[in-house]
Chain A
Amino acid sequence: MGFLEELKALLPGRVLTGEAELAPYESDALTAYRKRPLAVALPERKEEVLGVVRLCHRYGVPFVARGSGTSLSGGSLPVEGGVVIALNRMNRILRLDPKARIAVVEPGVVNLKVSQEAAPFGLYYAPDPSSQPISTLGGNVAFNSGGAHCLKYGMTANHVLGLEVVTPTGEVVRLGGESLEGVGPDLHGFFVGTEGLLGVAVEITLRLLPRPEAYHTVLAAYPSLEAAGEAVSRVIRAGLLPGAMEIMDRLSIEAAEKAVRAGYPPVEGLLIVELEGPKEEVAEEAQVLEGVLRESGALELRVARDEAERQAIWKGRKAAFSAVGRLSPDYLVQDGVVPRSRLGEALREIQRLSREYGLRVANVFHAGDGNLHPLVLYDGKKPGELERAEALAGEILRLCVRLGGSLTGEHGIGVEKKGYMPEMFSPEDLLAMEEVKRALDPKGLANRGKVLPEVVRAGA
């Protein structure tokens, strides 16, 4: 028997090889890249994942684990001639223990489902990437996904207490446990964010938090993006720690208005600040916040008086990415991070680059975390425009690193940004990553071709 026959014997009726069956798996949310896999395997239990990985290891066939395919950095792009391990059928919450404040889940569970299941107990799962109604926890773990609340609550890594992982050589290891505190190296913390290069998580233990008792959500309108950015600094200087602070520029406001009619004022910069916590504390903080925002030059302040008004404020922000898609046939979304105090500088430079390259850039960002999301608009049908958009996006990435930030806040490096890794990391940093990869995956099968730039291997 050959590889494919063995694979089919392992997962009877659950191996896709037909042209039409493979097509949906050729790319993820970064649709500019496409690769045709050899096959797609649909395991339903962790033992089957183990079987597939062992088979791949024996035959030297590369594999890519995948959930809903929402990666914006090409993280779940198949390897040509490799296997896609699609984990969507492993979508059970194995245990939800409110007393222990944990949920044990399979990797194909959709992020939002955990909070829905935990809600009756007054608990929730804090990391909320914008893709949370569709993205899976296995993918969230691989990319250390973020969202709007990272300043206060941290990223996915902070909420993962334990993992069961199939290593690239086909061993099962348990990392971490169920307590918030462990002893010995934080191996589960290290695994989160390694983008599937070090194995496949088949079981994930998550910490759950009590749902905040009260929210206070304010929409503030500004005559310039800088003024909105400055208001964020004022909030921090006042000693407040909001759950989220988000900024949108004119282009994204217009797009969001067209798409969902959130009732946003047509201004240059909109700031959303949300406080959360016990009702008494939120009430006190809200007074301080109001004073800060009144002095920040806001043209208009809108405070949500109830949950419906709060959702209305968030509606436009949450729809922003897809709404911007209506303004342009194609767009690239970037994900750089800058220190919060350099936001103004970064935005000015992005505007300059936008003019220089003759491409529109819409800005939506997690201002509290310094996490920018410039959306570079282009038309893929016009010759050379994609390349120009990529070059502009690259300039933005370099800018973020130059200002002391990072290439990615939450989307990961994937295939999209690996060429920029040497901008942020030294050859020795990259070599250390390469050595860890090689020690755990000597045949280089797990998510081959992602994260690590080829130059390291060549130089090593």
Chain B
Amino acid sequence: MPALRPENLEEVREAVRAYPRLRARGGGTKPALSTPREGEALLDLSRLRGLLAYEPEEFVFTAFAGTPVAEVEEALRAHGQYLPFHPPLAGKGATLGGTVAAGLSGPLRHRFGGLRDFLLGVRFVDGEGRVVRGGGKVVKNAAGFPFHRLMVGSLGAFGVMVELSFKVFPRPRTTRTLRVRRENLEEALADLERLRLLPLDLLALDLVPPATLELRLGGFERSVEARLKRLQDLLGEGEVLAEDEAHWEAVRDLGFLEGSPIWVKVPAKPHLIPELEGLPLGPRRYLDGGEVLYAGATEEGLKALKEAGLPHLVLRGAETPLFPEPQGAFFAGVKKALDPKGRFPLG
């Protein structure tokens, strides 16, 4: 099958109309999702890139879906802004479209929310080659069916995203990171649960098994120092990371999964962590106060997740990335409406 490399909306439409089965790829950082299977044409969106509009004062930008996250972040940084959901794998070349299609957020999602909280609008080409817009370019909008939110985690099943609009926020002036180690998982979980209920505005709250917590604070320098002190009074001195930026960039690039054959994302919740910790998983980290797990695994670990009935998404290293596949009349109806010929595989 040929690789198609559209450079504009019209070429995406042509490609969709010309091929019975297509798989989109942006930066290729999540190969389990973007590697074409038998009979699928590869729709490489890496040329569909660039910022289309960015007005710092609006807290909004619009860009082509194939734009690397890193490129956008550079433009935002110049105006003291950032994407608070901290898209993973940005340092490896992840694109906006791939991030939305996979539905991924990084450790900083803890403070202001995840990808779904920051995506404002989309223009996509559906399975019939029609250009459809959902949402808009303003931070508050309740008009029409919200097709943009449908794209989050969709793995491209409803169409090829062409343009995306996001909300952004002012970047914290200073950050500090505290790492505390506990005797065992129970103690670490007890602290995690306590921290989840406190109004401390933590940027990140991660649990690194077996029993380490990592907390990141951001804001005005004096306020960050004062809050760090409060946290230390609460949790003990711990270790304050001198240079924390590099550390968290490595985390969001999922550096801790390097070396694992399979990379998997698992929706979690603190009360699920003991069960998850009983499974044969490799290196791993719970983000956002225990709401999501990114883990390295082998086939054995993947099998264990399935047998436990735990939904998950494989980013790398497996043939069928999504478990379970969406069922039911609602998914079927939306899929039938937007992709009646079944051009777009789901995972």
Interchain CA distance A387-B131 in the complex, whole Å: 35
Docked-complex contact B227 and A278, CB < 8 angstroms: yes
Say whether B92 faces chain A, with CB atoms less than 8 Å apart.
Answer: no
Say whether A236 faces chain B, with CB atoms less than 8 Å apart.
Answer: yes
Q: Are A404 and B138 also in contact (CB < 8 A) when A185-B154, A236-B59, A439-B336 are?
A: yes
Docked-complex contact A190 and B142, CB < 8 angstroms: no
Q: Are A100 and B270 also in contact (CB < 8 A) when A167-B333, A413-B144 are?
A: yes
Residues of A with C-beta under 8 A to B57: 233, 236-237, 340-341
Residues of A with C-beta under 8 A to B266: 183
Shortest Cβ distance from A438 into B: residue: B337
Residues of A with C-beta under 8 A to B157: 185
What's the A-B contact tally at a CB cutoff of 8 Å?
A: 284
Interchain CA distance A451-B130 in the complex, whole Å: 21
Interchain CA distance A407-B291 in the complex, whole Å: 35
Docked-complex contact B312 and A99, CB < 8 angstroms: no
Partner of A189, one of B55, B116, B193, B267: B116
Residues of A with C-beta under 8 A to B154: 184-186
Which residues between 209 and 255 of chain A lie within 8 Å of chain B, taking CB atoms? Answer: 210-213, 233, 236-237, 239-241
Interchain CA distance A91-B179 in the complex, whole Å: 43
Docked-complex contact A411 and B142, CB < 8 angstroms: yes
Interface size in chain B (residues, C-beta < 8 A): 84
Say whether A339 faces chain B, with CB atoms less than 8 Å apart.
Answer: yes
Residue from B134, B200, B267 with most neighbouring chain A CB atoms (10 Å): B267
Docked-complex contact A186 and B140, CB < 8 angstroms: no
Interchain CA distance A285-B222 in the complex, whole Å: 11
Partner of B337, one of A150, A171, A366, A435: A435
Interchain CA distance A410-B141 in the complex, whole Å: 7
Docked-complex contact B131 and A428, CB < 8 angstroms: yes
Q: For residue B53, give the distance in angstroms from its CB to the closest CB of chain A.
A: 9
Interchain CA distance A146-B163 in the complex, whole Å: 25
Q: For residue B116, give the distance in angstroms from its CB to the closest CB of chain A.
A: 5
Docked-complex contact A439 and B334, CB < 8 angstroms: yes
Docked-complex contact B146 and A193, CB < 8 angstroms: yes
Docked-complex contact B199 and A436, CB < 8 angstroms: no
Interchain CA distance A237-B79 in the complex, whole Å: 10
Interchain CA distance A169-B200 in the complex, whole Å: 46
Which residues between 242 and 262 of chain B lie within 8 Å of chain A, taking CB atoms? Answer: none
Docked-complex contact A369 and B143, CB < 8 angstroms: no
Residues of B with C-beta under 8 A to A338: 138
Which residues between 7 and 63 of chain A lie within 8 Å of chain B, taking CB atoms? Answer: none
Shortest Cβ distance from A442 into B: residue: B333
Residues of A with C-beta under 8 A to B14: none
Shortest Cβ distance from B200 into A: residue: A278
13 sample A-B contacts, Cβ–Cβ < 8 Å, listed by A number: A122-B198, A144-B146, A157-B149, A171-B329, A186-B150, A186-B151, A189-B146, A198-B330, A369-B140, A405-B136, A410-B142, A413-B142, A424-B144
Instruction: Give the top 9 A-B pairs by smallest Cβ distance, nearest first.
Output: A189-B149, A284-B220, A179-B267, A181-B292, A280-B223, A440-B333, A369-B140, A435-B337, A186-B152
Contacts A190-B145, A278-B227 aside, 17 further interface pairs with beta carbons under 8 A come to: A100-B269, A101-B196, A121-B197, A158-B116, A180-B291, A183-B267, A184-B313, A185-B158, A210-B198, A210-B199, A241-B170, A278-B199, A339-B55, A341-B57, A412-B142, A428-B132, A439-B337
